[in-house]
Amino acid sequence: MNDLIIQNIQELILPQPIDKPLKGHELDKLKVIENGTVVIKDGKIFYSGPHSDDYEAKEMIDATGKVVSPALIDAHTHLIFGGSREHEMSLKRQGKSYLEILEAGGGILSTVKATREISEDELFKKAEHDLLTMVQHGVLTIESKSGYGLDKDNELKQLRVSHRLADKCDLDMKHPFLVFHTVPKEAKSNEAFSEDMINLLPEVKKYADFADIFSETDVFSIEESKRYMEKAKEAGFKVKIHADEIDPLGGLELAIDENAISANHLVASSEEGKARLKNSDTVAVLLPATTFYLDKNDYADARVMLNNGGAIAIATDYNPGSSVINNLQLAMAIAALKLKLSPNEVWNAVTVNAAKAIDSDAGTINEGDKANLVIWDLLNHEYILYHFGINHAQKVIKEGKVIVDNEFNID
């Protein structure tokens, strides 16, 4: 006997399993079945496809007028941090620059201070609240970076919290080591800090899935980033990079040269870098909610990347300073509006391509896959991008069990 049947599905979204990320025009191809059925047994998909009355189950959900998709994947977050920085919004409205805010005690170093001061249990409790908000909005696979400790003890604290969250919530989480996020105040020099953190790589390996670095003007140069990425690969890490967010330094080209699993931000990437994506499996993880939150006019040029045959994914970049958004649905809508992506491209960018950006096998609900899916209160799969700013996830199902039920009735 099967455990659960979801029947009468208005639209069933079935991204296809892929060995490599979808590139260029491939991203606009999405299998959408009208009047679909999903059958779940022992936490896995037993059948997903056109309507069928051939199955029986202990439980049935009538999804008339609903959309069903794989659970979403947020492929770039800074989930675990102490404190908050809402006071900086007034400074930004006054036209204060990032450096001026930093000099006034704000910016990333204020988050580093708060993260160092908070206990591990308090940090866990705070991050758990934010993580569960993501789950309530349909996300069951998350990348959770370190990067607000900037020393051995506090980076390991963040990574331990990330693993505790994955264990307690039983979620697929990836844990990049992003100690190269900025240079702490107490560092004698960039070079001394870099050497100390590179020496930490072997110890971090048991906690971290990837090595990540923020390559930007006045942070870490292309040369420093290249050295770190090569040392990380020698230590057995797959590598990632925050690249070309503000200035076109060549971070995307470096990511491609180093076979990075992903390059992130890419707002200012060069035409050469965008053209080279075609011959690379590096996924360009674009973060339009960050550009929106910072009130910038220039967004990453997703259309050129796709026209050049590149692979892209969409993520929130949830963090305390530049994208305080842990609702991937909102980032999806901004991607459609500002990156000019089609509905099919957006859905693939937060499922199968997002999975490739973090080396996860999530993102599909075909036979044999984990039954991680969402029942959406949507007229069709395009509607989530049209009616934005609210939570359309009606039920979130993890390995065949409903763990979030947002359906309610007022008598």
The string of pLDDT tens digits covering residues 259-287 is 999 999 999 999 999 999 999 999 999 99
Identify the CATH homologous superfamily for domain 1-69+363-403.
Urease, subunit C, domain 1 (2.30.40.10)
Contact of 26 with 83, CB cutoff 8 Å: no
Whole-angstrom distance, CA of residue 357 vs CA of residue 174: 11
Best CA proximity match to 75, nearest among 374, 358, 359: 358
Contact of 356 with 313, CB cutoff 8 Å: yes
Annotated ligand binding at 78? The verdict is yes
pLDDT at position 195 is 96
pLDDT at position 100 is 78
pLDDT at 213 over 70: yes
Per-residue DSSP letter, 118: S
CATH no. of 70-355: 3.20.20.140
Q: Where are the domains of the chain?
A: 1-69+363-403, 70-355
Annotated ligand binding at 85? The verdict is yes
Band (pLDDT 50/70/90 cuts) for residue 92 is: confident
Per-residue DSSP letter, 372: -
Annotated ligand binding at 245? The verdict is yes
pLDDT at 95 over 90: no
**Which amino acid is it at 382?**
E
Mean pLDDT of all residues in 202-221: 96
Annotated ligand binding at 76? The verdict is yes
Is 92 buried (19+), middle (13-18) or exposed (0-12) by CB count in 10 A?
A: middle
Annotated ligand binding at 207? The verdict is no
pLDDT at position 241 is 98
Whole-angstrom distance, CA of residue 154 vs CA of residue 115: 8
Whole-angstrom distance, CA of residue 175 vs CA of residue 269: 25
Does the reported pTM lie above 0.75? yes
Q: Average pLDDT of the chain? A: 96
pLDDT at 82 over 70: yes
The helix/strand/coil state of 116 is: helix
pLDDT at 4 over 80: yes
Annotated ligand binding at 227? The verdict is no
Annotated ligand binding at 317? The verdict is yes
The DSSP line for 328-371 is HHHHHHHHHHHS---HHHHHHHTTHHHHHHTT-S-S--STTSB-
